[in-house]
Structure 1
């Protein structure tokens, strides 16, 4: 009997969701409503936006639902929906002149609010009927019915009510009231004997208590700061009864809430933007307008399939893959889909539109279950409503206004109607979504703060974008600008002293102090360059940039230490590669910002912007960096390093779902004299000094190298950006591949590959035609990226995490020597020795292969030395106990 009651309850939920899904068919009849009431485009847009806002701002319905329960909510929702639709029918037939856009919009906003009662009632009583292992399937099925409802009622309207909006509203009033009353009868009610299993000393404090598993009544709405603060830490073997029920202020101070909120805001909002603008997108891009009805239907079909498939798949792989990874998948899909909109032939627009529905479906199959499993069932209504505020903001208040602004900017009047034709109508929005989908991906993986921080300090890599303008602004000689560049790199890589302080202060204090100090220094540089440039000497501006580099080291350490083991030992390389590649991306990003936002010449304004960005990124990191779980482990205060808290108390979640101890039993904790006496340190130090020094030589002198060889100067901005892009690719590729091959090849092999690539790069500079100089510049970026993808992980794995800040700083002294104290003075000396021309401003210039050729030859010889060191380091790593070259043990925590 219970089985039939379960089936009937789920069927009632499907009917509820299908009927309230009629909200998605608004595009089928809004044009006729506009004509019937004589509304303008702005008026009907207001009505549609208020309808969407009401449907997605579900905090108030959620609060009411949690107070009165599922069955009372169904009665209330049925009465409200039936009454409002009947009122709209009466108004349209009797007093259409009184139907103002604001009044109709308010009515649809209330309709949207009332429809949430149907959503909550379909999910609340049914999600646990078939056990936690099938929760994803049940919720995905219910949500898929919501999506299918949009396509179903659009078809019903066109087939039976086309152009007769009032009669359609009357039909909806009767249908919704009948379905909600049927659901009141059929929705599951627990038997009294089921409720008696739990000890209830007082009347239930909450309407959903009847649906709670036994013994959850005694749970408290608390959330200890630092305990399981990652969505990723949802361990599959935990039973529903072990989920803490939180809401209100507790959930708003929980990092997991904001990570999920961010992804819903970005991904669902972008999909709703596509759904609401299919006709305009196809029209503006010159696609087949006759295919629009088919595209609308395929969006809904794809959405439905995405929900069902993602629900089933997430349940099937839950033991190995947390549900949050399906949000990551949706982020990747959204980014790829909007890239398709930019490049796909116009006859195939149906493909990205269908895929947009699928991506939206995957997201809707994931985030409601995550809400339930992460924050508990007791306050599901309020919590779902709080997350759904993201939907109320994402499309109606963000994507829609942005899209309307971009569209109207390029639109022209055609027969009194604004129309826009061409790529420019929606291209900026597509590019914005691609960028935000990357943010969403990082938020779902809890790496967003680290990546944003590394992106900011990577602005140092944009040096070549503005050093020529700084040279002209201050009337510096080549030796003067070389001094500035060298001091900038010296500060950036002289990170031993910041490392010592970081190990004592910890990541949170460090990132907070460095953010404030970076803003102060950048403001001082802005004021000096803007108001008294004649008083600024090369040493003064170089010293300021040296301090910026030193402070940036705190940000680098604070990004790496809390994040490097989030996904377990087998994925450390990927995580650190993602973070260091963001550092490299900073060069391309800030070079673009300088040229696009500051017209390629406003150096003072650019410095002020960078300072503001760094402060914001540091504050964001301080708020969201993962806090460790404190244990009872006792560590002597005199020897304690603040980095050790990430060794003693955390667990990392491997990408295969395994929960791994973050202990460092396979690595020694060395620093100081012990580190300096270890041959592995020097075998790593020398290749880093040579390879990164050679890379920095190219990065800092791109403009001067191209100019001296009579190359295409107009390509210099492209070369600077390309250096950073391929540097990023090199870091990411090295991290992924070295993790994959870790059981067979030591990471030192990849450091050796970077040395070999460096030698090939210098040969290319000596031999390629000047029109192909972009090739060796790109090769230089890639080879440096491979080294940066290798040596931080080698430091961590060979010498431990306990003194990571100091050890990273000691190895980074190689960077302080390689470029600032060796390659830069050598290049400057050879350049000035061969310089024969002074331009109108008296600036020295050198032309010919002799300007940089000898430096390239020296780099080739030294690269051979670096390669030999890497080969010996690999041999020692093979002997080291960490590299057993067997499959890594799965240390999964058992239930």
Structure 2
């Protein structure tokens, strides 16, 4: 499901960028729409298969309480976290109990500062772009891409916070702290006004805004419980429109109108500079508040939430179908972020000034986040009357009523409504979102508690479907750039998209049937680490003192840098990734020197990313197979990749017809393989506790090698060949350079081979044993 969502987001991002560059004919637009529908059908297929598996595998559920009894949970928490966090140990608080806790208001204030400033940004995107002389097409592209950055923020924050919680025991509010810090930087960038600031700033703010939306309901459920989560979640979400109102109307709108004067329009960096510095300060205030929440809950997360993850109950009804449905629903809710696209029409048709327009937009934000009613309705409809579909029906009816009323006012079918009435229309139109979001969030939290999926095949099937769909979209995009599709081709593409979107339902159905037909028992056996009695001594006897260092379970950066293997891996990265990146950095001049036109060169650059992807995927899969089935150390695949990269550089330097296509395929795949292997090998040799630091320290070798090879080798030789003409044509322009790159890659091959021989016994006796034990958990 996750991969399907990511590929769908990537597809939409590519389409938006292409539409900003190219003019799509009608048949191409229809084809894109059909492909989109096919994508949207995939979650239902996956959910259907998962639902079938669950129905075919009855689960053995234990009904005894997991966490909260007087002898097991409450007292330890009191002793560990003190009186200020005793409130956290209550299983499920209602709204009044939650509002009586400090953590509720800390979370409320963090959302007010972060999401309020983020939504104020998107609401003023049109006027912001206009003040910086962006045309309508670019502004609409920025607004459309906001939803993509929002998605990546939601997905990334959830994934990263899960990993940090499971592996490190770090409280989830820490990721909220990081998001608010990055949002502060994004607001400062937007306020600075340098060239391209709006692109960079909106990416940061959009990702962080999505991250906060992902983290807030999860943190709410973990601190206050899920019984009344719908009500508590929507009560906290009211901070969003409150912060947006203050920042959009009192800050941005007021300052903009003051700068515009009597012209009702403002051009220049000064129009929004002060406003976004204020937004940066507000985000920083949210950063401080979130940091406070993190310190208040960090022990609670380690001692209660993490234990709850290990022993949580599972719920198996038709959760896979619900998951597929949630994916489809969320895919159709992006219109809430398109306000900046239609706000100029709304402003012109209703003769609004900027402050009035921002006031209307605030009611959109109030409506989209004021979900107390939907939370209460969901609780009543699902638990008391068992009809949760009522939430969707009422939400859809409300959304249609609000947007239809606004459309009637804009096109002039009804007289121009007064501002309060238009605000009401906007509120009703946006409020429908809370009904769908409440259902999706609460249902998913209840259906998929931690560690509730033993059979990963449905998720793998979703991943495969996503890859196929991404490939299909890539082909369609390339074809649309070359050909003009007739109407029948658009219709065919639409039907293919529908078939893709139907696959998740099939996967979900099969998964549901399988789970219901096979009883599953959740186990949580702990894995013993590498210790003196079990792992260290065999290594000492087998490989001698030079590899004893490998048995240190989790090295820090200084310990890793004191090992010979660190510098071997560093040198391999410098030679391999450095020469690979030097190749792509000089692709334009390389193609020009060999007589390739701009279109062919751009195609090679674009295809590099595809070869990079296949290298990453293939190297990871191949190295896993060789390690599990043969016990071969993973650096062997790295050595093979560097050997193939050497051949690729030699092919590029040779200058025969088509050499650039063949050579860049080899170098691109091998470059991606090295990116996949390096962090994996680093984690296996040095441990995962300090992997982030060690991995990034080794990754410094990439730009270091690129700098040396691009500037001192390729650049120097090219300038020498070009002489005073500043351009060079012919094979000789890069021949010597790529012979040097081939030699460097060969050096990396020899270093990787050395690393392989140094670690082969360690991999066979320690890493492979850990892998087998983890698979048997």
Check whether TM > 0.5.
no
RCO comparison, higher one (Cα < 8 Å, 6+) = 2
TM-score by length of 2: 0.38
Over alpha carbons, which structure has the higher Rg? Answer: 1
Bigger share in helix: 2
TM-score by length of 1: 0.33
